[in-house]
Amino acid sequence: MVYHVEVGGPVHLYAREIPAGAMAVGVIRSDDGAEGALLRLRNGAYAQMNDGMLRALDRLEVLRAMAAALQGVLRPSTIA
């Protein structure tokens, strides 16, 4: 599964309440079209939340997607 992460994205569109012990990271979209709030749980696991439902995510794939998203943000501009 390939994920695309928007770190700091509009979590409120997908999650009205964040579960106790979880931290909102941003928005996650998968290549199958599913999207929702990206949450990091107390135990270090990641989950996608949409309409109050949690779906477990592959931690390594989420970390890869976050690194790619942040790399694009932190890359120096090529515009002179």
State the Cα–Cα distance between residues 48 and 53, nearest whole angstrom: 8
In the chain, which residue ranges form alpha helices assigned H by DSSP?
Answer: 59-74
Q: What is the pLDDT of residue 71?
A: 83
- Contact criterion met (CB below 8 Å) for 28 and 15: no
- Whether residue 40 lies inside any domain: the answer is yes
Q: What is the pLDDT of residue 66?
A: 92
- Whether residue 31 lies inside any domain: the answer is yes
| Of the candidate ranges 3-12, 26-35, 53-62, 69-78, the one whose mean pLDDT is the lowest | 69-78
In total, how many domains does the chain have? 1
Domain span including residue 54: 3-74
Strands 3-7 and 35-40 come out as unpaired
Residue 22 has pLDDT above 50, yes or no: yes
State the Cα–Cα distance between residues 10 and 30, nearest whole angstrom: 16
- Whether residue 80 lies inside any domain: the answer is no
pTM of the model: 0.85
- Whether residue 39 lies inside any domain: the answer is yes
User: Residues 33-74: pLDDT tens digits?
Assistant: 999 999 999 999 999 999 889 999 999 999 999 998 888 755
- Whether residue 79 lies inside any domain: the answer is no
Helix (H, G, I), strand (E, B) or coil at 41: coil
